[in-house]
Structure 1
């Protein structure tokens, strides 16, 4: 649910406008922001619509701010304070006790103009009395400020060109006023943050004149001793080169927060700049759970749906794919207490829009709170495709367009698969399409370590695609998400397909996407075409993430939250050359395993690399596994042959007491924290192991809360 800026540059000559509107104020509190350039140009920026038009003016101004009390812009021209009219001409003001200096930053708040001059200080100009007062002494004015902005609470902020955010305490005497907080933003590169302003909600918007990049700081805390800030990077805005300052009425809100957007590709009308579908976020009416408020539309493939707060779950489908000529059923879960009107569109011909006559499939059906099952008829001529899109809009009034502003409600977009009559397919998901199991590995096999089972923790699910009529297996869909990494070693992740030869894989139409990176090569080169297929997600998981927590570990230390936003997500799509009879001993979860990354010693004299594999208990290794590692260290495997999986007689990857080196938990699961054995973090697992799984089979639901890292939202 978000978008890119799309701007229209329309050259505008303001000469006639100036002549007819000379000396008048601007409208009472315009939404438009006025970007002044070093040249005699001004850009009219509609932040909400994310457009920018440019025109010529008579002069250039700096350190400007909009005064909501009288409708004029105030700023500096030739070191003098001026009042700027709506025609962009200006009157010079005589200001008492204000020195003529090179003021580079300014803003207006509560009928006062604030001005900053490097190595000189900050002055406050009372625009009613024209009296200036120095607020910050020159010894503290050593920051490179291209602009500053006044928070609605009256506190001055600035992001300097060294990429720090500053907060000024000017509430005391000149001698005691100071910069009470300075923090690095984490931005990089050469910067010129010449445009900065606050909106009525206290969101700080800044523009870099060098690059056109803009950023929104949306949770500043001016009345707190410790500043807590968060910002989102917005796409580049045009017409901002050589900008010296921006003026915008701070009493207006930025409407880019407070709305819910779709997340289909932008050709479907998603981003605000092309009047994409968006609704007012409200607890009164929504789909599923109440959606988050979006700052901008993030459309596919950069959608805001993820496993930490996915708000696209109000519509559920009885099957993943829609079949030509069939009737599909969907369930809409309506929340809130208002009556909502549900409309839906499906791109049947997969041409990137919802404009065709038969694509408005549900029209303003009135629904109250609760679950409602609805039918959608799939046209006979619908294009067979692995991905097209559907859009659902719930609104507090009837709505007939797939685009544009709605009232209270929500928009949800979903990718769909359309299949044909003669190759109708069905999905079998393990555990389900909307959930994950959890894989956890100890990577020091065959040696015993701390058994905290957080070396590599992966959320994992598998979709088996079968021909509906024959039951033959035609495709696999495998999703993973890295939950935790508490290993010092680097490891790869792969899957063995027991009973499916490598020659069965359609390598041209199989791929993996890791963190939005497409990789076409997934099948490991076999020694023999009849060798069972091995699918490689990656040979080095660590190349896809980094963590600032101790040892570079990820989500194993509850006292470190520097890694909470680190993600590694991947989807693998496997197509078979021709559908095959279902292998008798193919496990629903297949045969996932980790292996030593290339050039990682893993505690050996020389790197074992691909030959060191760690599988689930009683699963078979691949042909590339080093058989001499079995029965070494703490491993007590009695049968770890390559084909024990298809013979269903494996006795492998276990120690003398039966404890495995890898486990599969059939649900989301909180892994132990670093150094805490799974036997102490989940005491009931011992009974499960000792009984060979016949008792305590829900051990994973009963942790010692002090010894686990909580990742599951209750």
Structure 2
């Protein structure tokens, strides 16, 4: 009989007897997503999320778990020492108030005077649960079992105009804060009256389905649409002199969801592990570069078998160790020198390319910044030198170009590596490592010579019917083009060339190349060479892709093949590309070429244009005057520029060509009209089939006078607008 009675009592006791509270105030934030609800633990420092519970249990009398939302954490221990650390919220599927234990199992609590409908916004403060719904009201429930109104819903206000999807209590002030989704305005809510006061815009909008505080008074909101976690600094909001605005700063990237709610023990720091056991790696540059947690410093969660830089996995820190405490200078028992993933092989010299060896434990993405102007941040233009750069396991070469305008002296560089893309110089990352390095920028008297002036273009226009005169519309291949010569002590150190493909008015297929006269192909330092294609959209924005070496291996002289066939660089539904006014294609292609030399080249190699030219694409028809496809042997250079070693001189003096090698006359007819030309501006080319002399009548006098007259022939006031491409 006694045994049966005990069994009966155990079977009939409320499930509350067995639900265990949380033993401590957890540092992780809790994220509730989906229906049925999955509970995640989120490390706000890095954004890393892991599933804590994918089965919150089914309530009595219900057939499904449903969605739990509007959750808040109650960090309450009564005067007698009884622990009441539970989570409270609403089961929105079944319209019931629930409590969740340390295993995230839900239990219904029988509240009285419950308003109709369901609720998605809630938090706990002072052993009371507060909940809210726009256009319905603001309420609270007493969670004190000894109180006369235990679990009785009290209406605070029926005025609820703010579009909150979560809010949270400040742990020190006891005030309630939320961000209006539509306006992005931060509001403080009076918990006793429901009155709201706007504190200004946060600068961000969206569905902020989860809100959290930490013990220092920082407010975190997670946006459902993209999972981004923002931090709003309310750490001194109760102190004199603290004023708006309160900007939402991107802090980390967490999980995204269409149905989000969050809760956290606001009395916990973000990191409470003792020194040496933290799982977060911080940078150690001075704090103006955003290194410490308070400055939203660069930081990575250390993951077992995860990616890192160098041969030594990073150690964890509770916060950034700056100055003499950094990994670079202090190797005490709790601080391993793990800054071994970055090696600067050459000095950082203004205007020159320098090699940085990046050693990675596995494949991953590299981001890198250099403070070129030494102003204590990585915010300035051109200071990010690597963006989502895919590196392989082992040693990788990163070529870093120091701007000619860099400030000399000591500065800092930051390298971040991991599996994520798109991370900034600050904020959290879910894996990987950050390394900060002190650098020295020196000046060895290097100068840049721009042609034309810095940031401008010349126009190159080619006719591809040579040696036949043809229609002379000068639009078969048209490029914007500019060069930079890097010079020291009168010698050439590097040549940079840039271009944009403006038009193709030819049915023949042509390639485009650049020769550097008087320089040999094997003079190029290929370890620092740069060659990139950029595909442009209608707004001029582009995606840049590194290309293989363009150096023509069959030539002794230095020739860079930009494209074997310019038609491969663009897409159009028209017969030609940007030569017919009825076809409004945008500029689609740009290139960047950088040719650094192993040894300085003599003064005679310094040029302005160098030698851009077109050639016939291999295995393509290029006119009936040729008995076979001429391919690489057919070239057209600017007037009076000699051909390369690949060209066939047998094509000279055919048809209308009057080239004469003995007097260095090339690519002109008897009237001195060329088959290609450089125009010293961003010139508008003729339409298809329109003779250049019809579009720009003054050009004839310019040529026949051997450039003595009409040197402004290409200016807009001297053209016939109806005959040019708009």
Q: Could you state the TM-score of these two structures normalised by the residue count of structure 2?
A: 0.45
Looking at CA atoms only, which structure, 1 or 2, has the larger radius of gyration? Answer: 2
TM-score, normalising length: structure 1? 0.46
